[in-house]
Copies of this chain bind each other. A is one copy, B any other.
């Protein structure tokens, strides 16, 4: 219920946290959730199993932390001076996420949800998107302050349309995303532009 901060993610964790999160996401992409084990993560990250268990008592807790805190999934909240510019920057980040060599297989494995119980997958998705949406709030707060956000505009719907078009083109259609696609998509959904 508190106001979203620009850095809402807790920073607690072992010093090797980033290596642990990287190993978690890489193993998830390679083996699916069923094949992901704390033992394999420890080995890949070069840490002791007990180090992981000290911070994250279960595989689900570890994956949740990796989703919220791994640098490879991070977003860089843009501040370009206009809503259009910020949304284009966010669309470009989504494109990089779903097409990038290190992240492409991770997002596909997460989206498929294979090996996760329905309620585990729903909880992970809820936490992941709530966290991202909280971090993106400044984009819409600044747009509202500049008078750029039409009354009744729905930021969540805008983001779903933009991320969705990138997702369909890059992941489902499996086509190259053409240069300028981020701007084309934003102009198609932002009233008064394009």
Binding site for B on A (CB under 8 A): 32, 108-109, 111-114, 121-122, 125-126, 129, 154, 157-161, 163-169, 171-175, 184-185, 188-189
**Across the interface, do B129 and A173 meet the contact criterion of CB distance under 8 Å?**
yes
Is the beta-carbon distance between A114 and B125 smaller than 8 angstroms?
no
B111/A109 in contact, CB under 8 A: no
Describe A's contact surface by its main secondary structure.
helix
Instruction: Tell me the minimal C-beta distance from A121 to chain B in angstroms.
Output: 6
- A-B CB contact pairs (8 Å), 5 listed: A108-B114, A154-B184, A158-B188, A160-B165, A164-B165
Query: Given contacts A161-B165, A165-B161, A173-B129, are A111 and B108 in contact (CB under 8 A)?
Result: yes
Copies of this chain, how many? 2
Chain B's closest residue to A94 (CB) is B168
* Chain B, Cβ-Cβ closest to A172: B111
- The reply to whether A171 and B109 form a contact with Cβ atoms under 8 Å apart is no
Which residues on B sit within 8 Å (CB–CB) of A185? 157, 161
Q: How far is the CB of A140 from chain B (nearest CB, A)?
A: 16
Q: In whole angstroms, how far apart are the Cα atoms of A166 and B161 in the complex?
A: 8
